Structure 1
Amino acid sequence: MKLRVLVFINAFAVALTLSVANYYFQHSWKAVAVTFSATIVVSFIIFYYLIEKYVYSKIKLIYKQIHNLKLGRDLRDAIGEHVSADPINDVEQEVEEWAAQKKSEIESLRQQEKFRRDFLSNISHEFKTPLFAIQGYIDAVQDDDFEDKDMARKFLEKAAKNVDRLSYLIKDLDEISKLESGEIPINYTRFKINDLIKEVIEASEMKARQHKIKLVFKHKYDDAVLVTADREKISQVFINLVDNSIKYGREDGTTSISLFELHDQVLIEITDDGIGIEEKYLPRLFERFFRTDSSRSRQIGGSGLGLAIVKHIVEAHEQTINVRSTEGLGSTFGFTLQKAKQQIQFPNIPVLKN
């Protein structure tokens, strides 16, 4: 409601009240008309002056301060700025928007705090497990004083494996930190995604054979699909996803890789027919150290950071990654890459010699 309308309503109410009272005592319509006209004019002027001076001007200043706070400006910048003709309505809208924004920020902070607590709990657990194992093996060897050399050798080998696990954890954490901070640049090159998939399949063939899993590339190798991305980092994405499908695949199962050419992107999907993932776990699958089955995951091995690294690499390319899964049937991880622009080839024009 605008100021003049608000003032007029108040002035009309006062004038009407006085006019009714005047008619009650004098019973003269002429006196009522004069009283009503004079009262509404005087009341309008007084109310307008008082509200403008002591209320409206303060509301304008509050509106300017709220507006400048939202824009991140200094409060001193609020003075002298233009304000719309209806600052009361604007203040209401600004306050509602500000309250909704603050509520969203508080909820985000709560989620971040929960994530921080979970992360600290997970990382402490991930580090404690190999550290305690190393300490136990070394203590056992020291207590035995190397009298049983075969036992000492086995314990030292197990301790060495746990040291390797710690090294993987630290390396992966360092890589995620650098990816988040942008310290690791994305070196874009133009390459055939088919060739990279073939290389990853060949590199993973032995491990897949050990788990009795067949690797299949559904796209024809001779159909070149060019993308623009960081070849080394995308190779890491493939290795992590294929390795994940082998770890959680079923015996005599299949891991297949498919390519789909979209308008200006290429969709790559890695599908397995393994144990699958419960639907409730899918939103958290790319979180650091998140495991759907902790006991089995630790037996299989890995740092628990592979999918988090995959997500960071794909998002660093300004692309998306998603997962579809059905428990007991298998999982499909899909991510997009930018399709390489076709290079214009000019025909060879013979040069005429004089």
Structure 2
Amino acid sequence: MKIFTKTFFYTLTLLILIALLADGLIYALLPKVYTDQKQQELTLQTDRFVSRLEKAKRSDVTDLMAGYAGSLQANLELSIGSDSYTMLNWDGGVITRIKDSDSEESGAAASRGTASESCDTDKTVTVTEDKGVKIISDDTASSSAEASGTENIGDGGILTGIVTSGAAGSKTIQAQRSFTIGGEAGALTATLTLAPVEEAVQVIVSLLPVSIFLCLIIAVLFSLLYARAITRPIKAISEETQRMNTLDRAAICRVNTRDEIGTLAANVNSLYGNLLGTIESLETELKKVGAAERAKTDFLRAASHELKTPVTAVSVIMDNMILGVGKYKNQKEWLPKCKELVDRLSGMLREILDTSHLGDAIEEKVTESIETICAEVIEPYGMIARAKGLLLYVDWSAAFVVMMPPKLLGKALSNILSNAVQYTATGGRLAVYCRGNSLFVENECAPISEEQIPRLFEPFCRMDESRSRETGGNGLGLYITASILHQLELDFNFKPMCSPDGMRFTIKF
């Protein structure tokens, strides 16, 4: 199942469950919450009424009861000493035979119905909503009581009979309090008839299908929008990762949100960028390794050819000396030549071995002035130059600090200086100096064309007779120098000079 479908159904199910739970809670908790709220309201109002009673006079009791019963729509039963007071609120109720122990008229009832009062004689009292009292004749009272079906309770208190029209089965709540007024103890009972909340619950039940239908429509729309908003960036990331799988360099996740999906897209882009960089590095390394392998192969071929010539020459001379053929009978003449060839062969082998171990050399880098590193290397070549009648110019006024392995860099400088001294004619000039971050080595000689210079860095390369085995070189000097400088990741060039004629070797640090 796709993530859009999953997100849609999960969200839809969650919203429907929330709607059903909300309707169920309303249905289950509405009666209790309504009853608790009314009970708290009745308790609070009763406390306030009792507080006012304790500060009032006995003559104000009925007025206070009427105001309280009317505002709260509650039935009140109040007793102070031997006196009793009752105040009813209902539609069509009747109060009859009210009697006070001290006065002839002491009772009242708050309602929109009719009240009856009796002392030595019976009277009917009607109290309207504006608290006005209307006294009706005795005959009216008797006929009113008979017509309304009044039930006589007794002669001990104010209220002798009550007829109410409250709905059958209505729930009532009470609040009872004790108090003291004028030094006499009293008791109050407030009774409140609750509205039939079951009817409201039934209305909720009848509206439940419509509510669920509307909630379902809203849930479907919201789930579609939410699922689309969630899956759109994920789909975009998925499409771009498919392009990344083909190593498309233009692939990129364009999700700019600040949430976890945006972070995921940024991480994917970073990961893909690192992957492309790693691939490029591997390709570069493979090219370097391939070039190094080809260079080794070419070097071994050239070395084999260079070694083959003196070995063959020594072998032929020795065979002819043993057989006593022609001029080779003179061993005193040819044995020194054989030794010379063997010594040259030994030197070539030593340099070949040194060259083969260049990549294996591990030397710690040190931070030194270029003058310090070059001083020890230049000193012996200075003596050779003076012996050969050459003019050596050294200028360290612009020397700079480098961080290099001194022995490895010294070997490269030694080969450069060796070639400069070797191929400079007597009376010529050599110069070693610094400019900027570069080291220059110049010597006066016959310039080499720029087309031939790249071949000088090939192993065992000799451009002309002046650079042959007879001069003492074997064609490995510049090859070793280039290998070292490449290993140290230093740029260099070897170019001819015009004035004066010669060659200049430059190393850029």
1:102 aligns with 2:274: no
Match of 1:244 in 2: 419
1:165 aligns with 2:337: no
C-alpha offsets along residues 250-276 of structure 1, whole Å, 9 cap, x if unaligned?
56532222355x6xx7x5421113244
Match of 2:315 in 1: 138
Sort the Cα spacing of 1:163 and 1:294 in 2 relative to 1 into closer, same or farther, 3 A.
Answer: same
Secondary structure of residue in 1 paired with 2:307: helix
Cα distance in 2, alignment partners of residues 100 and 189 from structure 1: 34
Cα distance in 2, alignment partners of residues 128 and 292 from structure 1: 14
1:217 aligns with 2:410: no
C-alpha offsets along residues 267-299 of structure 1, whole Å, 9 cap, x if unaligned?
5421113244554676787x6727473876553
Question: Contact 1:219/1:259 (CA < 8 Å) preserved in 2?
Answer: yes
1:289 to 437, 447, 459: 459
Provide the TM-score with structure 2 as the length reference: 0.40
Match of 2:384 in 1: 204
Question: Contact 1:321/1:333 (CA < 8 Å) preserved in 2?
Answer: no
Match of 2:441 in 1: 270
Aligned length: 271
Secondary structure of residue in 2 paired with 1:176: coil
Secondary structure of residue in 1 paired with 2:445: coil
The alpha carbon displacement at 1:172 in A equals: 2.4
1:123 aligns with 2:300: yes
Match of 2:429 in 1: 254
Q: Output the amino acid matched with 2:290.
A: E
Structure 1: any 5+ residue segments left out of the alignment? Answer: 5-36, 66-81, 338-354
Cα distance in 1, alignment partners of residues 374 and 305 from structure 2: 41
Tell me whether 251-260 or 190-199 shows the greater mean CA deviation: 190-199
Secondary structure of residue in 1 paired with 2:358: helix
The alpha carbon displacement at 1:85 in A equals: 0.7
1:176 to 358, 363, 377: 358
Question: Contact 1:200/1:238 (CA < 8 Å) preserved in 2?
Answer: no
Question: Contact 2:445/2:503 (CA < 8 Å) preserved in 1?
Answer: yes
Cα distance in 1, alignment partners of residues 319 and 449 from structure 2: 45
The alpha carbon displacement at 1:100 in A equals: 5.7
1:44 aligns with 2:225: yes
1:333 aligns with 2:509: no
Secondary structure of residue in 1 paired with 2:384: helix
Structure with more helix by fraction: 1
Question: Contact 1:141/1:155 (CA < 8 Å) preserved in 2?
Answer: no
Structure with more contact order per residue of length (Cα contacts < 8 Å, sep ≥ 6): 1
Q: Output the amino acid matched with 1:199.
A: E
The alpha carbon displacement at 1:126 in A equals: 1.7
Structure number with larger C-alpha Rg: 2
Secondary structure of residue in 1 paired with 2:430: strand
Secondary structure of residue in 2 paired with 1:293: coil
1:302 aligns with 2:473: yes
